[in-house]
Amino acid sequence: MDSEWLSRWKSLRICVAGDVMLDRFVTGTVERVSPEAPIPVLHFQSERKMLGGAGNVARNVVALGGEAGLVGALGEDDEGKWIADRLCAEEGIVGHFVRTDATPTTVKTRFLAGGQQILRLDVERPLPADSEREREIASACAVALGRASALTLSDYGKGVLTAVTVRQLIALGRARGVPVIVDPKSTDIERYAGARVLTPNAAETGKIVGYVCDNDESAAAAARAILDRAGVDAVVVTRGAQGMTIWDPGAGQKRPTHIPTVADEVFDVSGAGDTVAAALALALAAGAPLREAARIANAAAGVAVGKRGTAVVTQRELQAALGGGGDPKFVDNATALEIVNDWRDHGLKIGFTNGCFDLIHPGHVELLRRARATCDRLVVALNADVSVRRLKGPQRPLQNQRARSIVMAAIDGVDLVTLFTDDTPLALIEALAPDVLIKGSDYTLETVVGADLVLARGGKVALVPLEAGHSTTSIVTRAHADR
């Protein structure tokens, strides 16, 4: 059934309205402390700009396979122009923006080194309430709702979603007969009356009800209290590592229910709420019951928290998290490039190694272990069957490329597996631009394919020691000798 719901998302458009921001990520290296003050000196390497706030909800909608219209207010500045003219087009998002000189575009700049934030700089000023601007936002939303199947309100408390605007937008959504999903910021939850579902996180829920929600019982009580006060149809409390609590009495629920988290590892919970809002909106728009929609959104959140920083979850990743779509580690070259770029955007060091890996033996395992120690994420490129035959003869490989890929993807230290059909992975190395290129110590710097490309970009080549006495050829020779 999961595949059926997800397959419907392609034709769905979600209207996302709220506080749109610009997220900047400045990545560099820290090698010393400033002589001027006890602070680290960041040596600049790269900068990436992306949509944040309500914009990140829209990004997640598109990544999950839907279409997105984005409504918000932007300053009359370069940052607002960058969002409206460039980022929306790059992300495939249709923007409906009100431009204002009353406040600058909200910008959050994160400085990263070694995959960790060392400083965040915020440029923001709440948008002052203005009746004319409220009418403009409502008009923009009416246009964006033209063929939308759901409306999501992403409230970051920056002034776009005033109480008046929220009431107007919810009324628009109800008049169009589409579900309205609200990710709230205000404790004045009565302003969200009429919405299909409210999705506060545990911290927001605690502020609303006045007590800590740190277990199932307190979360259930809080969900009941919020629904009674807010006048919404249902409440989904997102609780991070504790999963979700759902209260939807209109669907016949006798009591709130709980869904455990599905995250394997948690790196960063920021942005997970945006992913939940996007997945929930798509699932409800597709006709899924709230509990089913929440289960799907919970799986999406489990993927999101495994990434660093503002991140999106793709439909492929969600399908894998839900137990379908094959091994998420084994991908084609185009998907590998997309994933590697996402890792790099979040300050992760990318390692790359390659080979036939026909029969995995202890030497391979040690090579991969040492390779993974040099980086944050390890990509293994396997020679496709046609490439192996050219290199090693018509009797090889002993295992076809699918079998070799499945075995490789099962190794813990390997984060991504892809294939190449050429004799060497040079084109793939050029495309992925790894930070570290790893080969065994039987190679020299001069004989490692792609070493010059990696070094020219400021990367490194690591030649790791090999376990003596292990090779696929020797295993095959011994096997024939024992017959």
CA distances from 436 to 117, 420, 454 (A): 22, 19, 7
> Mean pLDDT over residues 287-312, rounded?
86
> Mean pLDDT over residues 178-200, rounded?
95
pLDDT at position 325 is: 57
Provide the token pair at 481. 């000798």
pLDDT at position 263 is: 57
Give yes or no for a contact between 189 and 208, defined as CB atoms under 8 angstroms apart: yes
Provide the token pair at 188. 């004045």
Lowest mean pLDDT among 315-319, 336-340, 388-392, 420-424: 315-319
E-assigned strand segments in 54-176:
67-75, 93-100, 106-113, 116-123, 150-154
The secondary structure element, H or E, covering residue 157 is none
pLDDT tier at 463 (50, 70, 90 boundaries)? Answer: very high
pLDDT tier at 14 (50, 70, 90 boundaries)? Answer: very high
Look over the chain and give the mean of its residue pLDDT values, rounded to a whole number: 90
pLDDT at position 224 is: 96
DSSP state of 307: S
- Whether the pLDDT of residue 266 is over 80: the answer is no
> Mean pLDDT over residues 134-151, rounded?
96
- State yes or no: cis peptide before 35, omega within 30 of 0: no
pLDDT at position 53 is: 95
Q: Is 131 exposed, middle or buried (0-12, 13-18, 19+ CB in 10 A)?
A: exposed
CA distances from 131 to 125, 137, 144, 162 (A): 18, 10, 20, 10
Residue 293 and residue 84: Cα distance in Å, rounded? 31
Q: Reduce the DSSP state of residue 92 to 3 states and report it.
A: coil
pLDDT tier at 312 (50, 70, 90 boundaries)? Answer: confident
Crossing angle for the helix pair 163-176 and 131-144, to the nearest 10 degrees? 20
pLDDT at position 168 is: 97
Strand 377-383 vs strand 350-355: parallel, antiparallel, or unpaired? parallel
Provide the token pair at 41. 């000196």
pLDDT tier at 326 (50, 70, 90 boundaries)? Answer: low
pLDDT at position 212 is: 94
- List every span in the chain annotated with CATH 3.40.1190.20: 2-321
- List every span in the chain annotated with CATH 3.40.50.620: 333-481
Q: Reduce the DSSP state of residue 170 to 3 states and report it.
A: helix
Residue 21 and residue 15: Cα distance in Å, rounded? 17
Residues 6 or more apart whose CB falls under 8 angstroms from that of 126 comprise 103, 157, 158, 159
Residue 133 and residue 391: Cα distance in Å, rounded? 67
pLDDT at position 467 is: 59
Query: Which positions are catalytic?
Result: 274
Q: Is 136 left (phi over 0), alpha (psi -120 to 50) or beta?
A: alpha
pLDDT at position 479 is: 47
> Mean pLDDT over residues 246-273, rounded?
78
Residue 30 and residue 19: Cα distance in Å, rounded? 33
> Mean pLDDT over residues 137-145, rounded?
97
pLDDT tier at 19 (50, 70, 90 boundaries)? Answer: very high
Give yes or no for a contact between 273 and 201, defined as CB atoms under 8 angstroms apart: yes
The CATH architecture annotation of domain 333-481 reads 3-Layer(aba) Sandwich (3.40)
DSSP state of 330: B
pLDDT tier at 328 (50, 70, 90 boundaries)? Answer: confident
Residue in 433, 410, 425 with CA at minimum distance from that of residue 328: 410
- Whether the pLDDT of residue 108 is over 50: the answer is yes
DSSP state of 20: E
Name which CATH class applies to 2-321.
alpha beta
Buried b (16+ CB within 10 A) or exposed e, 191-203: bbebbbbbbbbbe
- Whether the pLDDT of residue 49 is over 80: the answer is yes
φ/ψ of 119, rounded to 5, equals: -165, 145
Strand 13-18 vs strand 150-154: parallel, antiparallel, or unpaired? parallel
pLDDT at position 322 is: 85
φ/ψ of 289, rounded to 5, equals: -60, 155
- Whether the pLDDT of residue 270 is over 70: the answer is no
pLDDT at position 477 is: 52
Residue in 376, 370, 312 with CA at minimum distance from that of residue 348: 376
Residue 60 and residue 36: Cα distance in Å, rounded? 42
E-assigned strand segments in 36-92:
40-53, 67-75
pLDDT at position 481 is: 54
